[in-house]
Amino acid sequence: MSLAPVEPAPLAAALIRCPSVTPADAGAIGTLATALRPYGFDCHELVMSTPGTDDIANLYARWGRGGRHFAFAGHTDVVPAGDRAAWSVDPFGGVTRDGWLMGRGAADMKGAIAAFAAAATRFIAARGASFDGSISLLVTGDEEGVSINGTAKLMEWLETRGERIDACIVGEPTNERTLGDMVKIGRRGSLNATLTVHGTAGHVGYPHLADNPIHRLVAMLAGLTATPLDERTDHFEPSSLQVSTVDVGNPATNVIPATARAVFNIRFNDRWTGAKLEALLRERLAKHGGRWDLAVKVSGEAFLTPPAALAELIADAAAAVTGARPVFSTTGGTSDARFIRRFCPVAEFGLVGLTMHKVDEAVPVADIERLAEIYLGVLERFFAVAA
């Protein structure tokens, strides 16, 4: 008797029962690999390491060795549950209540990972020996953390093996209100900057003997925020600079401090690269003179998968299941799609994100099943196209 395909809701519940708060794996990667191996997936459980960081468990599971290759990508790590007393259920219990699967990671994104597995095994069962393509799952345990030993390294590992991917879906909870309302076709870039302004400490009663760095810092921030960085583009909102903290560390009311510091983030659209944006910042700040330092880290560049073949294919599959066609969007934060984009076309589509990272995170069990059907429809449409 042939093996029945994976049922998505029970697998999602089993994954939730693994308390895989970044960087802990807590058995999540092994649970997924165990579910896939009986169906013929070649599963590589890979622990990635970098000095000074936590080791991270990752999984590359592939069915097939040739033909066109479609990949599903996601993460089993989750954010902390927070105050457990605020939850109405055990956040790592994988409880189903009134038709909802509850627990940390239900929406972001263990439900989608289970739907990946269900769709892949259903497709393989239906095609049988006639299927000569490849399907893979790329799953990391380091998306909610520093993202050093996760998808980025997994893609490098694939490259060293000569593995080629033709298209990829990342199962982030992209939908805003109802399943099938949004496909992410790109993401804004993210630049974090620390601006430190140096002055000369002194007594507030003798300001001519001091140099107050706070005054210059305030002027510099005002200059950065007063002028918009750009206007919206065809698929992106205007770039946005937001100051997240200003710190002086001065408990005294009668002392001018020696330094003042501010941290800000810029979510930038496809008009910019991180390098061009940093150059603009330094140009604007230099106009204020004085001594200052700017430390910049770009965690991801803006990218766009034009709304063509892959996005339309996902939209068609979603509309066939839900009856409504999703919109294409680039809103939100960053995702691991930023590491995949240089290897193949990538888009994001998963469950509804209303409860992600919240107390009593939950998704309808019916949505997990419908998502599996949408992913199945994506595979059917993808592999119906001639190579």
Q: Which of 77, 211, 336, 367 is catalytic?
A: 77
Rounded (5°) CA angle 75-77-79: 125
Contact criterion met (CB below 8 Å) for 260 and 218: no
> Is 143 among the catalytic positions?
yes
Distances (CA, A) of 265 to 269, 277, 278: 13, 12, 12
d(CA 365, CA 211): 62
Tokens describing residue 6: 């994976």
| 321 C-beta neighbours (distance < 10 Å), count | 18
Written as six digits, the tokens of 105 are 């990671």
For 172-207, b/e burial (b = at least 16 CB within 10 A) is bbbbeeebbbbbbbbbbbbbebebbbebeebeeeee
Q: Which amino acid is at 150?
A: G
Residues in CB range of 252: below 8 A, 6 or more apart:
none
Q: Residue 245: which region, alpha, beta or left (left: phi > 0; alpha: psi -120 to 50)?
A: beta
Sheet holding 291-300, edge to edge: 240-247, 259-268, 189-198, 291-300
CA–CA distance, 303 with 273 (Å, rounded to integer): 10
Q: Which helix (H) or strand (E) holds 189?
A: strand 189-198
Q: What is the DSSP annotation of 314-378?
A: HHHHHHHHHSSPPEEE--SS--THHHHTTTS-EEE--SB-TTTTSTT-EEEHHHHHHHHHHHHHH
For residues 336 and 172, give the distance between their C-alpha atoms in angstroms, rounded to a whole number: 9
Phi then psi dihedrals of residue 335, to 5 deg: -150, 175
Which one of 25, 108, 143, 278 is the catalytic residue? 143
Which positions are annotated as active-site residues?
77, 143
